[in-house]
Amino acid sequence: MCPLKVKMMQYNHKDIEEYWQKYWAENKTFKSKNPPPLGELEGAPKYYVLDMFPYPSGSGLHVGHPLGYIASDIYARYKRHKGFNVLHPQGYDSFGLPAEQYAIQTGQHPAQTTEENIKTYRKQLDKIGFSFDWDREVRTSNPEYYKWTQWIFIQLFNSWYNKDSNKAEDISTLISLFEKQGNAKINAVCDENILSFSAEEWHQFSDSKKQAVLLQYRLTFLSDTEVNWCPALGTVLANDEIINGVSERGGHPVIRKKMTQWSMRISAYAQRLLDGLSTIDWPQPLKDSQTNWIGRSQGAMVEFPILSFPKGEENTSKGYLTGGNNAHLLQEKAKEMRANPTQAEAILWQQLRGKGLGYKFRQQHLIDDFIADFVCLSKKLIIEVDGKIHDFQQEKYAERTQILENLGYKVIRFTNEEVIGNLDKVLETIKLNLDQAPLSFGKGLGDRISVFTTRPDTIFGVSFMTLAPEHELVSKITTDEQKAAVKNYIEVTAKRSERERMADVKTVSGVFTGGYAEHPFTKKPIPIWIGDYVLAGYGTGAVMAVPCGDQRDYNFAKQFGIEIPNIFENLDISEAAHADKEGTVIANSDFLSGLSYKKALQKAIESLEENGFGYGKVNYRLRDAVFSRQRYWGEPFPVYYKDGMPQMIDEKYVPIVLPEVEKYLPTEDGKPPLGNAEVWAWCTKTNSIVDNSKIDNTTVFSLELNTMPGWAGSSWYFNRYMDAKNPTEFASKEALNYWKEVDLYIGGSEHATGHLLYARFWQKFLFDRGFVPVEEFAKKLINQGMILGESAFVYSWNYNNLDNPPNKKTIFISKNIIQKSISEKSILVNGNKDIDDLSFGIKILISNTEWSHFNPIHVDVSLVNSSDELDIEGFKNWRPEYKDAEFILENGVYKVGREVEKMSKSKYNVVNPDDIVAEYGADALRLFEMFLGPLEQTKPWKTSGISGVYSFLKKLWKLYHSGENGTFYVDNSPLLEGLGEALKVLHKTIKKVEEDIENFSFNTSVSTFMIAVNELTALQCNKSSILEPLLILLSPYAPHITEELWSKLGHTTSISTAEFPKFEPKYLVESTKIYPISFNGKMRFTIELSLDLSKEEIEKEVMSNEKTIAQLEGKTPKNVIIVPGKIVNIVG
RNA sequence: GCUGAAGUGGUGGAAUUGGUAGACACGCUGGACUUAAAAUCCAGUGAGCAGUAAUGCUCGUGCGGGUUCAAUUCCCGCCUUCAGUACCA
């Protein structure tokens, strides 16, 4: 017989898979149309299946990576069988750190290494037989792609968040509001400490001043922010890129540093990101961690005026400069006003200057973002004189007063007429107010401490305050006596690393500053402490400590002997704080006494607001996201700088293509790598990138040197796939409206707070601006579990640690010998001939064997077979330092130890899918990955198990090759008679597989296929009416073998769009049931009975059965439970 | 600490409107085929006890309770493991 023919008759995965992969690629079998043209899939519903964007790393895939891809591919193929128009694309998140690190080390352009990595990656993917539409491939590092990333950035820059309409709007709507009414009434998400201005003022602002103001409102903005600077990587990192205080990539230390950075105003969307979670079908743990990350807490801001002020320090440290963040913009104005006082102002100033009333006054002084006419800082008293010079501010007096009062100032106001006409009365009033001013504890600093609290109901329980050591007020309020202690404490805490601080949460530490604040209600002085349990980065970096209601405050108070007032009715707080809210009744709290937690909370906030001590506030943990990276391999910003202000390049001229540089490192003067570029300037005349030498700051300007972070490109890619090659839009309206959103998104849970939060943010933004039709980009999301590796170990005997090692040779002892010796509590050498033969052994071993006598060494799993036997020669070649080692064998082989660990190169437990495909085929790999267990679960990989699915495929092949000598044969006769059993098997399988796929329970459907093939083999079924539908069921899982058999059945087109078989319940109708007969709930035997029988008839049958009689031993049962079709239980 | 997920044979796992625990597979044991090995096929395989055997009995889904005719499934209390988060005021 011709050997080739024999080969063809057997299941040959290699030929089959190569053939069909080529066929799919050539015929573009999986190309998706948007929307499908008439006649083709007409009226078919759409379905969008997406895998999380892969970064093409240089080390390639291991078997854990394709798990999610296989699951999504099965689902995509299933949906095609179900008649859907399926979009199932793939691409690369190809900007990123590893390529750049590699470039720094080798000088190779990151684009080049990225290209190579993608090739490897693609080759690996192709071998697994995915049904991707590769015509839609995208790469974030392609200018045709990042053109649109830059475009979105421009849209963000040109947008602000209107809290009234609760959405992002074009910046032009903000400008027109400014022009009409100034900014007082604008309810926007913006920077804190915004300069207040009128429409007139706005018109008077210079262009750059206008730009500066607008920047405070834009959704992406430039600001000096505390960033996480990683010196080792030479870049800033986002919060989610830091794990345990070190960088996620590389594990380098991270420090806090102030830098000018682009930021994204994601905080504008905090509430909507939270609310949106209830509308999407995502795993609860993922939603929980987003909820957690956003960290909404409802409470109140409370202001505590600072009382004490150390002697002799009143005027040092520029304490009199009380201007806000925009002080530099107002200084000029204030100077001008000082030089040109009104008549009334001049008169009054004559009286107030030089401590005329006993206190120092300042004129035309900046308070936050306002210019106060006269102010006594030590008494926090502001005197305003209404005059013509203030006309442009008049309409906003009320707001202005409110804000100043919130800052702790008292504002009194006189008209010009009062000052000029009745100066004595005016001075009288001022004196009265100076005497009444609330500051009783020495002279006031003119400052206050704001705290955020979720428990304003416990405000009467405050007995101290704690500031973060980094708090800016610490140096100002610390008294001379405490100065040394405070300084020392700050130094010590600054030195403690994040890690230490986290590891040690038990130790209570802190120092008294010597300063006091005033309780807003009781007016009692409250000592101000610093302590490192208060975080500078959360809330205001200060807490009002309520020791009776918060355990940390309690511990702190106990530690330092601070009073712990009890403000809870009938609750003992002698041992611990009472943090529970429910059922708590407030006591000893003035107007809050006797109220429940909820009522007290409400009343406290009302009272704070009435008295101007604070206001109700919702606080979010979510910070605005830093968007600049000091890296080369990322999207350049479409930004140049004119007079220090950022300017957007018009969207007509993007992409701004990444320039060539000689070195990928930061420049010598510390600029980002783009600082090395020689052609990196923007000419506003030609609208092109020109040589740096042409920079003249009139028409040619320098371009932004930072690049965008890794999450920029991945925050919108799912939209690009809908229309991947569109040169004029990021995706056409038609495509966006057709595909709308991802229906199924599969990926790892590690993206919970990074990619998935930012992508939702951008999608909401694009939705607000009308660019996309849906607010959430992914309807359903599944996290696939991790696949763990099975590490292998050899055990080297560390007898060298013992006295007088006779021999330097390494000795490896087979695992079970050690195991046996340990379990028998014996000395290793006894009774083992091999070891006894090593002449040195006996002398040195005196103690019983323990695992600690051995060093486990990782061995490459490829050197171990499925029975855990080591390839000793292979091992010696792999690790030449052990080429002379001795191996003590058991039954002639060396058995390794096994342990389940994360798959990683360093543990030598990585299994490459290419090897699996070569040996067993892609279909076997796909089936096995699914068979391992539930998709979402973490599970160990064990290559030996793959033989199960491989023999399943061979059995399946055989079903279709029942001809002579295993040739292909199926019976095409249409007669259905006598097929009862086979039809039952088929329809049972259809039902189960369909249910399983819909529930993403892929492991159980693989079992179902195995059962079906086992049963059909037993039935010797060769009918095409059974075997053909079976192929369609299986084809999503094992597409190659099913295509092959499908074509052998005579089909000339791909199986991929064959209609999924319809489940017919009629074939599963049974006439009898094998009833389990239980006695007291324990099954004893079964009886086959007709399903037509009534309860009474069943009971009669069962009770008369001889087995029942034997089981009862003559006793009469108390009760007989009969559930027809299910069970019989006899209770005795 | 908090949040979430999960604990079932030697292993991966199956079974929940409460109704025959351990499907399917790996591994292991024995057998067939072979000079031999691989491959393939057949049989057995939760533990314990009794019996030559057929078979029977007892225990058994992390632990302790509870509800029920019946609990891996529901309720209460605990333990352990894994993941995320971390002094969030």
* Amino acid type, A853: H
Distance CA A20, CA A36 (A): 24
Nearest nucleotide, C1' to the C-alpha of A940?
A: B12
**H/E run at residue A174:** helix A171-181
Determine contact, residues A638/A283, Cβ cutoff 8 Å. Answer: no
Q: Are strands A159-162 and A188-189 parallel, antiparallel or unpaired?
A: antiparallel
What's the mean pLDDT when you consider all of chain A?
Answer: 84
Pick from A1117, A1082, A1084, A1085: which is nearest to A1099 by CA? A1117
Unique residue bearing structure tokens 């990322």: A634
The CB density around residue A965, as the number of other CB atoms within 10 Å, is: 9
Torsion sign, CA atoms A431, A434, A440, A443 = negative
Residues in chain A: 1132
Question: Does residue A1080 reach within 7 angstroms of strand B, measured from its CB?
Answer: yes
**Does residue A327 sit in helix, strand or coil?**
helix
Strand B contacts (CB < 7 A) among A residues 855-874? 866-867
Global confidence as pTM = 0.83
Supply the pLDDT for residue A824. 66
Supply the pLDDT for residue A245. 64
Supply the pLDDT for residue A1072. 86
Pick from A239, A220, A212: which is nearest to A228 by CA? A239
**Does residue A344 sit in helix, strand or coil?**
helix
Nearest nucleotide, C1' to the C-alpha of A951?
A: B40
Strand B contacts (CB < 7 A) among A residues 335-364? none
Distance in angstroms: CA A129, C1' B33 = 37
The protein residue nearest B68 (Cα–C1') is: A1081
Question: Does residue A1001 reach within 7 angstroms of strand B, measured from its CB?
Answer: yes
> From the CA atom positions of chain A, what is the Rg in Å?
38
> Which chain B positions come under 7 Å from a protein C-beta?
3-5, 11-15, 19-21, 23-28, 39-41, 56-58, 69-71, 82-89
Alpha helices (H) in A595-679, listed in sequence order: 597-611
Nearest nucleotide, C1' to the C-alpha of A239?
A: B85
Question: Does residue A276 reach within 7 angstroms of strand B, measured from its CB?
Answer: no
Unique residue bearing structure tokens 């510390």: A670
Distance in angstroms: CA A1103, C1' B49 = 30
Report which DSSP code applies to A1067.
G
Strand B contacts (CB < 7 A) among A residues 652-681? none
Unique residue bearing structure tokens 């055990």: A795
How far lies A606's CA from each of A317, A401, A456, A559, A869, in Å? 37, 19, 10, 34, 75
* Interval A657-669: pLDDT, tens: 999 999 898 887 7
Strand B contacts (CB < 7 A) among A residues 531-550? 532-535, 537-539, 541, 543-544, 550
Distance CA A737, CA A402 (A): 48
Torsion sign, CA atoms A749, A753, A755, A761 = positive
Report which DSSP code applies to A608.
H
What are φ and ψ of residue A816, in 5° steps?
-70, -25
Unique residue bearing structure tokens 């959405």: A167
Nearest nucleotide, C1' to the C-alpha of A1130?
A: B69
Torsion sign, CA atoms A97, A102, A108, A112 = negative
Supply the pLDDT for residue A438. 41
Strand B contacts (CB < 7 A) among A residues 157-196? none
- Chain centroid offset of residue A662 CA: 35
**Does residue A467 sit in helix, strand or coil?**
strand
Q: Which two tokens stand for residue A353?
A: 């200057």
Pick from A664, A657, A655: which is nearest to A631 by CA? A664
Q: Are strands A296-305 and A322-323 parallel, antiparallel or unpaired?
A: unpaired
* Interval A430-476: pLDDT, tens: 877 776 554 323 333 457 899 999 999 999 999 999 998 888 888 88
Determine contact, residues A120/A915, Cβ cutoff 8 Å. Answer: no
Distance in angstroms: CA A793, C1' B28 = 22
Beta-bridge partner residues of A707: A629, A636
What are φ and ψ of residue A953, in 5° steps?
-65, -40
Determine contact, residues A926/A128, Cβ cutoff 8 Å. Answer: yes
Nearest nucleotide, C1' to the C-alpha of A945?
A: B26
With a cut of 50, list the residues of chain A below it in pLDDT.
1-7, 309-321, 323-328, 388-395, 438-445, 803-804, 839-844
Determine contact, residues A464/A527, Cβ cutoff 8 Å. Answer: yes
A498 CB burial (10 A radius; 0-12, 13-18, 19+)? middle
Distance in angstroms: CA A487, C1' B84 = 37
Distance CA A161, CA A181 (A): 18
Distance in angstroms: CA A288, C1' B4 = 8
* Interval A461-472: pLDDT, tens: 999 999 988 888
How far lies A807's CA from each of A797, A803, A812, in Å? 12, 11, 14
* Helix, strand, coil share (%) of chain A residues, nearest 5: 40, 20, 40
Determine contact, residues A846/A827, Cβ cutoff 8 Å. Answer: yes
**Does residue A318 sit in helix, strand or coil?**
coil
Distance in angstroms: CA A1129, C1' B56 = 20
**Does residue A1106 sit in helix, strand or coil?**
helix
What are φ and ψ of residue A42, in 5° steps?
-60, 130
Supply the pLDDT for residue A471. 85
**Does residue A979 sit in helix, strand or coil?**
coil
Pick from A615, A620, A480, A468: which is nearest to A545 by CA? A468
Determine contact, residues A718/A140, Cβ cutoff 8 Å. Answer: no
Question: Does residue A948 reach within 7 angstroms of strand B, measured from its CB?
Answer: yes
Angle at A216 between CA A212 and CA A218, to 5 degrees: 105
Angle at A297 between CA A295 and CA A300, to 5 degrees: 145
Question: Does residue A462 reach within 7 angstroms of strand B, measured from its CB?
Answer: no
Question: Does residue A966 reach within 7 angstroms of strand B, measured from its CB?
Answer: no
* Amino acid type, A445: L
- Chain centroid offset of residue A646 CA: 30
Question: Does residue A1085 reach within 7 angstroms of strand B, measured from its CB?
Answer: yes
